[in-house]
Structure 1
Amino acid sequence: MITDTRPETRPSAGDQSSAIVVARLDAAQLAALPAAQWDLLTRNSLTENPFFDRRQVLASLATVDKGKKVGALSFSVGGALVGLFLFQSRSKIPAPFPVANGLANDYLLNGTPLIDRDHADAVIEKFLDLVRTGGAPAIWAFDDVDLDAAVFQKLRAAVAATGMAWATATPYQRAYLTRLDGGLEEHLTQVLSKNRLKDVRRTMRRLGEAGHIALEHVEDEARLPGRIDDFLTLENAGWKGEMGTSFLSRPADAEFARCSYVAGLAAMDSLLLDGRPIAMKLSIRTQRTAFTPKIAYDETYKKLGPGMALEYMLIEDFYANDTIDAVDAAATAEGHSALNFFNNHKSMATVILGCRSWQVRLLAWLHDGRETLKKKVLEFRARQAERRHAAPKPDVET
């Protein structure tokens, strides 16, 4: 296990030929990894994944994933951490053989391993060698990953070169925001439809008539905890609270939010009406992309469209500042509201790789089958709800 505690020790690219030391860790050993090294790896990973930031993962293991059997493969060079593959045996997909599934829950929405950009080829080569020779689980599933990300481009090429098996399952498009050369005006005219732009401007006018509106960005240690609590309250007051899916619906989930969305990782953007937040959007980032896993709005102002107004104001702010290069909607299904405002998308899927092609194909088939069944169930429930709504109500005698 890695025990070096030097705060900013990162091997240079010239150390690629150095022997890579691999350790298989349980949850307790994972939590004991040197914090500074984990943080440095996150900031310098080839493909950014803030969901595997140390604070996210450790908060998860202490709350919503407490007691879950979690493992990790750590890769180090010269005592410095250069790779971290987090996995769990538990999965929503039953398989007749052991599978290393990327660590995931309702809030960890990206299974991309952390691999130092200067040691990516060596780490990937070592990882696949372990998979082939029995030093690591023989089949892996990485959920909700960008197929075009550098990590998976390199992994796929290396898998093909070694004759191993590769498959993808449950594909979907995730909204992704980047800057257009023509600036905000080009974005508004090229990305938003005329009707959408008209709706946005009408919404902004109505909100302005209701009171003073402003966009607030909070990420400092003094104010962020208060805004996180405001978000939890706002979310719980809406339909998620009624459905029992808000953070405050379960104590462990609320604790996870308060422990993981902290200064240095998280930020809260709020649409303020006369100083009070009526729409809020949470983001996390470790490099130059902001990932936005949660949004909530005050449903008493639903007719004024506060969620739409916040999305629009954030587009304006994105073009007015260069703090970040992109925004990832961090949604695990299509149909996210950001699709109406973002100019780009990522091709997302579950990546499955392993030694035996029949296992990889079967696991991909099981993933796709579950997704198909899930959609059919949702469609059935929607039809049932429509029928109940359309059914004539019986006369009530007075």
Structure 2
Amino acid sequence: MDMASHPALTAARAYAPTQRLRWTALAEAAAEANAFYIPEMLCAALDHLADSTVHVLEAQQDGELIGLMPVIVAGRYGRLPTGCVTNWMHDHCFFGAPLIRRGQEAAAWRGLLEQLDDAPWAPGFLHLRGLDAAGANAAALEALCVEQRRGRREVHRYDRAMLRSELDADAYWEANVRAKKRKELRRLQKRLADLGTVESRLLTDAVDLSGWCDEFLALEASGWKGAEGTALASRPQDAAFFRSACTAALESGLLHFLRMDLDGRAIAMLVNFRHGEGAFSFKIAFDEALGRFSPGVLIEIANLHAVQGDPAIGWMDSCAAADHPMIDSLWAERRTITQYRIALRGQGLARARREAAFALANGVEALGRRLKGQG
């Protein structure tokens, strides 16, 4: 199914009655969790954030949907004036693994790559971003590229914090956070409690969702993100995406929305989205006027207890940048996030151009490493 074949790309709504059921069934059977591509979030993103043409590739086997990957065409690859295809990761998408049916990983990748090989709109190569280097997607893709003798290069990787432990919250806290930091945070919790009643709670009633979304948007916009124009409320389409994704996820039981109140007023809020046994930390907002109490850290402590106390959540990806000073000091586990450059094939002139683009990118990258003394 090619989203580009439909006018104005309003197709997430248009396809919802039929496609969403198929996408949901695939998401429930996915080999690797990715909350950003489940229909609750993907449809919201297609409705509100698709500034350019998004091709939603589907791989099928015997009439069954076994793979789904949204992609776009990028006019450049880094500094190179070479077009390429890349998995669609909008500004609020922090993981890029396609949804692939468990047990059908190789067949799904084969189908997705064949579609790109045959697509007249697909230039250069496939630039895959935001994959777990140790995940099912990466393993199946590597094996298929070896089988097909298809070019594959890892072009970047970094580690980011994640939470995966059998310990309860208190034991995890004691085992992984330095004693000096624990003491300081207990002092901040006490000082904050001196100002009034502090309460942490999860969203459980759909009636409250709209108000919580309003408060989150206002709280985030009140800080540095609002000043820099990167808060969700800074652009109407971003705010609409946020509301739509939260609404759909809550209806499906996949929204994990936490807040910390001081005398009934939100001073920190945290939004997570679940998929399978995993969860993905999406956005955090806090009252910067109370920065001396570190409300962002304190709500992460509340989140630790909420996650470790929920038997339905086996792990949580921080979705944070590498070497994040706050979450890295609280969560001990790490997830390696990688990017790949995958050669595309085709026929005639299209194949020659793609081979040249892949070789050019490889050559420029190798030259850059030599100039830096890395090989």
- Coarse TM-score class (shorter-chain normalised): 0.7 to 0.9
**Equivalence for 1:301:** 290
**Equivalence for 2:326:** 337
1:166 offset after TM fit, Å?
A: 1.2
1:74 alignment partner AA: E
**CA distance in 2: counterparts of 1:249 and 1:319, whole angstroms:** 33
Contact 1:100–1:139 under 8 Å retained in 2? yes
1:311 offset after TM fit, Å?
A: 0.9
Secondary structure at the counterpart of residue 52 of structure 1: coil
1:364 offset after TM fit, Å?
A: 6.5
Contact 1:170–1:368 under 8 Å retained in 2? no
**Equivalence for 2:230:** 245
- 1:125-183 per-position Cα deviation (integer Å, ceiling 9, x unaligned): 333445566689462111122111111111111112221111122321111001244x3
**Equivalence for 2:348:** none
1:358 offset after TM fit, Å?
A: 6.5
Secondary structure at the counterpart of residue 271 of structure 2: strand
Equivalent residue for 2:131, pick from 137, 140, 145: 145
Contact 2:76–2:83 under 8 Å retained in 1? no
Equivalent residue for 1:93, pick from 70, 77, 86: 77
- Aligned residue-pair number: 346
**CA distance in 2: counterparts of 1:332 and 1:26, whole angstroms:** 32
Contact 2:75–2:82 under 8 Å retained in 1? no
1:172 alignment partner AA: Y
Contact 1:172–1:334 under 8 Å retained in 2? no
1:93 alignment partner AA: Y
**Equivalence for 1:6:** none
**Equivalence for 2:4:** 26
- 1:66-96 per-position Cα deviation (integer Å, ceiling 9, x unaligned): 4x11112212234332211210003663544
Contact 2:127–2:339 under 8 Å retained in 1? yes
Secondary structure at the counterpart of residue 81 of structure 1: strand
**Equivalence for 2:213:** 228
1:303 offset after TM fit, Å?
A: 0.8
Decide whether aligned partners of structure 1 residues 365 and 270 sit closer, same or farther in structure 2, where only a CA change above 3 A counts. farther
**Equivalence for 2:256:** 267
1:340 offset after TM fit, Å?
A: 1.4
Decide whether aligned partners of structure 1 residues 34 and 296 sit closer, same or farther in structure 2, where only a CA change above 3 A counts. same
**Equivalence for 1:81:** 65
**CA distance in 1: counterparts of 2:93 and 2:150, whole angstroms:** 28
Equivalent residue for 1:169, pick from 146, 155, 179: 155
Decide whether aligned partners of structure 1 residues 231 and 360 sit closer, same or farther in structure 2, where only a CA change above 3 A counts. same
2:134 alignment partner AA: D
**CA distance in 2: counterparts of 1:227 and 1:317, whole angstroms:** 18
Two-structure CA RMSD over aligned residues (Å):
2.7
1:189 offset after TM fit, Å?
A: 2.8
Contact 1:289–1:326 under 8 Å retained in 2? yes
**CA distance in 1: counterparts of 2:365 and 2:187, whole angstroms:** 43
Decide whether aligned partners of structure 1 residues 348 and 222 sit closer, same or farther in structure 2, where only a CA change above 3 A counts. same
- 1:199-252 per-position Cα deviation (integer Å, ceiling 9, x unaligned): 211111112222221211115422222211110000001111111111111112
1:369 offset after TM fit, Å?
A: 11
Decide whether aligned partners of structure 1 residues 233 and 326 sit closer, same or farther in structure 2, where only a CA change above 3 A counts. same
1:38 offset after TM fit, Å?
A: 0.8
Contact 1:93–1:366 under 8 Å retained in 2? no
**CA distance in 2: counterparts of 1:279 and 1:81, whole angstroms:** 40
Contact 2:76–2:82 under 8 Å retained in 1? no
**Equivalence for 1:317:** 306
- 1:109-129 per-position Cα deviation (integer Å, ceiling 9, x unaligned): 222111111322322233344
**CA distance in 1: counterparts of 2:119 and 2:217, whole angstroms:** 45
Decide whether aligned partners of structure 1 residues 362 and 57 sit closer, same or farther in structure 2, where only a CA change above 3 A counts. farther
Secondary structure at the counterpart of residue 206 of structure 2: coil
Secondary structure at the counterpart of residue 36 of structure 2: helix
**Equivalence for 2:275:** 286
**CA distance in 2: counterparts of 1:367 and 1:260, whole angstroms:** 38
Worse-matched range after superposition: 145-154 or 127-136: 127-136
Equivalent residue for 1:72, pick from 27, 46, 56: 56
Secondary structure at the counterpart of residue 312 of structure 1: helix
Equivalent residue for 2:96, pick from 104, 108, 111: 111
1:302 offset after TM fit, Å?
A: 1.0
Decide whether aligned partners of structure 1 residues 106 and 367 sit closer, same or farther in structure 2, where only a CA change above 3 A counts. farther
1:193 offset after TM fit, Å?
A: 1.3
Equivalent residue for 1:191, pick from 139, 152, 176: 176
1:280 offset after TM fit, Å?
A: 0.6
**CA distance in 1: counterparts of 2:278 and 2:360, whole angstroms:** 34
**Equivalence for 2:22:** 37
**CA distance in 2: counterparts of 1:212 and 1:366, whole angstroms:** 59
Decide whether aligned partners of structure 1 residues 330 and 336 sit closer, same or farther in structure 2, where only a CA change above 3 A counts. farther
2:59 alignment partner AA: F
- 1:28-76 per-position Cα deviation (integer Å, ceiling 9, x unaligned): 386325211111112221111111122322322332324x111122122
Decide whether aligned partners of structure 1 residues 253 and 184 sit closer, same or farther in structure 2, where only a CA change above 3 A counts. closer
1:102 offset after TM fit, Å?
A: 0.4
1:360 offset after TM fit, Å?
A: 4.0
1:27 offset after TM fit, Å?
A: 6.5
Percent identity of equivalent pairs? 24
